[in-house]
Amino acid sequence: MEYFEPNFLGEALVLLERFAPTARLLAGGTRLGPVLRAHPETACALVNLKRIVDLKGVTVQSSHLRIAPLVTAAELAHNATIQSHAPALAAAAGSMGARQLQGLATVGGNVCAVDASSDLSTALLACDASLEFLSPAGTVVMTLEHYLSRQPPQPEPCEILIGIVLPLRPARGAYARFTIRQAFERAIVCAACSRDPSDPQRSLRVAVGGVGPVPVRVRVAEEFLSESIPTAETCRQAAQLAAAGCVPPADGRGSTEYRRHLAAVLIERVVAEAVGGEHCA
Ligand SMILES: Cc1cc2nc3c(=O)[nH]c(=O)nc-3n(C[C@H](O)[C@H](O)[C@H](O)COP(=O)(O)OP(=O)(O)OC[C@H]3O[C@@H](n4cnc5c(N)ncnc54)[C@H](O)[C@@H]3O)c2cc1C
């Protein structure tokens, strides 16, 4: 397998095209590393993105917050702009796996290798995130929700995720996850909620992970809450409605009923926390 460390995005794109479809982009390597150790024959070239400055940092633009894909979970958790504009994302990043993992795992890798209960992707859904991809055909922007509906939900062989864009607005938000062991284990079920206090009802977003192949937005809860006065009881009802609409696949970590129960508990918790304080009685 050939190994490259390009300095510029253009170089990375040329390498991807040259070795397509078996070139692999490397970010933190927490997901790709184990896969390549087990199946090195699946890649003929490894393109490490770590030298590309354009893929690093959090920037505030006129109406958006732009998160570059190489930003790590640890950086997200401690970034003051993320804490005030996307608190659900900061909380998700701080709760993900073990400390060592948070220092390596990138937000881009989390989105590009999304799984059922990816912490950052679940929180980003609740934060109304859009994704910017670069390919030889140019730049494409799509909502995270649209990306997650792709079959399979992953970049095309010559696409590089170059930015994650969030609306720039102060937000209240919350994130909760359930797992048996905190360290080194993905959430069984996780939930996120975000809202803009200046437009509290229409801006409310709820997302849940661990109830299907990828995290999903829970529109039934959002719609119910947009038409109700937020109280502890309406938060509970919204969570019950949301969970009733989920049919999580059973696996060794939880039956359908168990995951549905967890979804109800976690959704109620995050919604109550996000609308709480001012309204929730
Ligand atoms: C022990 C263990 C525990 C874990 N715990 C958690 C957890 O608690 N929560 C959680 O959400 N996840 C968890 N994960 C999964 C993983 O760590 C995360 O999804 C992480 O964010 C992946 O990021 P990375 O930078 O390591 O990605 P990498 O492993 O470098 O890449 C992952 C995939 O994304 C592609 N990719 C990366 N960047 C780009 C880009 N810019 N454009 C296009 N493609 C790109 C790579 O080619 C690769 O296919 C865990 C994994 C392990 C091994």
Q: Is the pLDDT assigned to residue 174 strictly greater than 70?
A: yes
Mean pLDDT computed over 32-57: 95
Per-residue pLDDT, 49: 98
Q: Evaluate whether residue 219 is within a structural domain.
A: yes
Q: Which atom of ligand 1 is nearest to the CA of 31?
A: 29
Pocket of ligand 1 (CB under 6 A): 24-32, 34, 49, 69, 96-97, 101, 104-106, 108-110, 112-113, 118-120, 155, 160-161, 184, 186
Q: Evaluate whether residue 134 is within a structural domain.
A: no
CATH value at residue 240 = 3.30.390.50
How many angstroms separate the alpha carbon of residue 81 from the centre of ligand 1?
A: 23
Domain that holds residue 33: 1-51
- Those residues with Cβ within 8 angstroms of residue 121's Cβ, 6 or more apart along the chain or in another chain: 110, 111, 114, 144, 148, 209, 214, 215
Q: Is the pLDDT assigned to residue 277 strictly greater than 60?
A: no
Q: Evaluate whether residue 6 is within a structural domain.
A: yes
Q: Evaluate whether residue 68 is within a structural domain.
A: no
CATH value at residue 36 = 3.30.43.10
Q: Which atom of ligand 1 is nearest to the CA of 106?
A: 25
What token pair was written down for 209? Answer: 């992970």
Q: Are 206 and 103 in contact (CB under 8 A)?
A: no
Q: Evaluate whether residue 21 is within a structural domain.
A: yes
Residue ending a domain, among 34, 51, 68, is 51
Per-residue pLDDT, 183: 63
Closest residue by Cα to atom 11, ligand 1, is: 118
How many angstroms separate the alpha carbon of residue 200 from the centre of ligand 1?
A: 33
Q: Is the pLDDT assigned to residue 63 strictly greater than 90?
A: no
Q: Which atom of ligand 1 is nearest to the CA of 133?
A: 42
How many angstroms separate the alpha carbon of residue 55 from the centre of ligand 1?
A: 15
Q: What is d(CA 190, CA 192) in angstroms, rounded to the nearest whole number?
A: 7
Mean pLDDT computed over 68-97: 96
Count of domains in the chain? 2
Q: Is the pLDDT assigned to residue 281 strictly greater than 70?
A: no
Which residue spans within the chain are E strands per DSSP? 2-4, 23-26, 45-48, 58-60, 64-67, 130-135, 138-143, 160-167, 172-178, 189-195, 205-209, 216-217
User: What three-state secondary structure class fits 31?
Assistant: coil
Q: Which atom of ligand 1 is nearest to the CA of 95?
A: 8
- Go through the chain and tell me how many residues it has: 281
% of the chain residues with pLDDT over 90 = 81
- Those residues with Cβ within 8 angstroms of residue 191's Cβ, 6 or more apart along the chain or in another chain: 122, 175, 176, 177, 206, 207, 208, 209, 263, 266, 267, 269, 270
Q: Is the pLDDT assigned to residue 205 strictly greater than 90?
A: yes
User: What three-state secondary structure class fits 25?
Assistant: strand
How many angstroms separate the alpha carbon of residue 119 from the centre of ligand 1?
A: 11
% of the chain residues with pLDDT over 70 = 97
Q: Evaluate whether residue 75 is within a structural domain.
A: no
